[in-house]
Amino acid sequence: MNLKPFVKALERQKQHCEGIIVLRHGKKIAKYRWIPEAPRNSFSVSKSVLAIAIGMAIDRRKLSLGDRVIDVLPEFSHKAGKRLSALTLEHLLTMTRGYAAFSRPATAVEAAAQPLKYQPGSRFVYDNGSTFLASAMFTRKMGINARDFLLNTLFRPLGMGDPEWPQSPDGHTIGGTGLMLTTSNLARFGQFLLQGGRWRGRQIVSSAWIESAGRPQTGTGLRRPDCNLGYGYYFWPCRHGAYRADGKNGQFVVVLPRQDAVVAINSDDPKPFPILYAVWDEILPLLGK
- Who contacts 219 (Cβ-Cβ below 8 Å, separation ≥6)? 124, 230, 231
As for how many domains the chain has, the answer is 1
**Residue 270: per-residue pLDDT:** 94
CA 122 to each of CA 46, 61, 80, 83: distance values in angstroms, whole numbers, following the listed order: 25, 27, 18, 11
Percent residues over pLDDT 90 in the chain: 98
Q: Which amino acid is at 98?
A: G
Q: Cβ(63)–Cβ(50) under 8 Å?
A: no
The DSSP code sequence of 235-262 is -EE-STT-EEEEETTTEEEEEEGGGTEE
Residue 289: what pLDDT?
64
Handedness of CA 128, 231, 54, 185 (dihedral sign): negative
Measure the CA–CA gap between 66 and 210, rounded to whole angstroms: 18
Cβ-based neighbours of 122, under 8 Å, separated by 6 or more: 96, 98
DSSP 73-113: SGGGGGG--HHHHH-BHHHHHTT-S--SS----SSHHHHHH
Q: What is the pLDDT of residue 123?
A: 97
Name every residue whose Cβ is closer than 8 Å to that of residue 150 and which is 6 or more positions away in sequence.
49, 52, 53
> Comparing 179 with 288, which gets the higher pLDDT?
179
Q: Are 269 and 277 in contact (CB under 8 A)?
A: no
Read off φ and ψ for residue 117, nearest 5 degrees: -80, -30
CATH number of the domain enclosing 279: 3.40.710.10
Query: Buried b vs exposed e over 88-127: b needs ≥16 C-beta within 10 Å?
Result: bbbbbbbbbbbbeeebebeebeebbebebeeebbebbbbb
The string of pLDDT tens digits covering residues 199-225 is 999 999 999 999 999 999 999 999 999
Q: How far is CA 183 from the centre of its chain?
A: 15
Cα–Cα distance, 205 to 41 (Å, whole number) = 24
**Which whole number is the average pLDDT over 113-134?**
97
From residue 14, alpha-carbon distances to 184, 278, 288 in Å are 23, 13, 27
Instruction: Say how far apart CA 212 and CA 154 lie, in whole Å.
Output: 19
CA-wise closest residue to 176 among 119, 136, 222: 136
What are 39-76's pLDDT values in tens digits?
999 999 999 999 999 999 999 999 999 999 999 999 99
pLDDT tens digits, residue range 153-186? 999 999 999 999 999 999 999 999 999 999 999 9
Q: How confident is the model at residue 79 (pLDDT cuts 50, 70, 90)?
A: confident
Q: So what's the pLDDT on residue 228?
A: 98
Query: 236 phi and psi, to 5 degrees?
Result: -105, 115
Q: Which domain holds residue 108?
A: 4-287
Predicted TM-score (pTM) of this structure: 0.98
Residues 6+ positions from 11 with CB-CB distance below 8 Å? none
Q: What is the pLDDT of residue 78?
A: 81
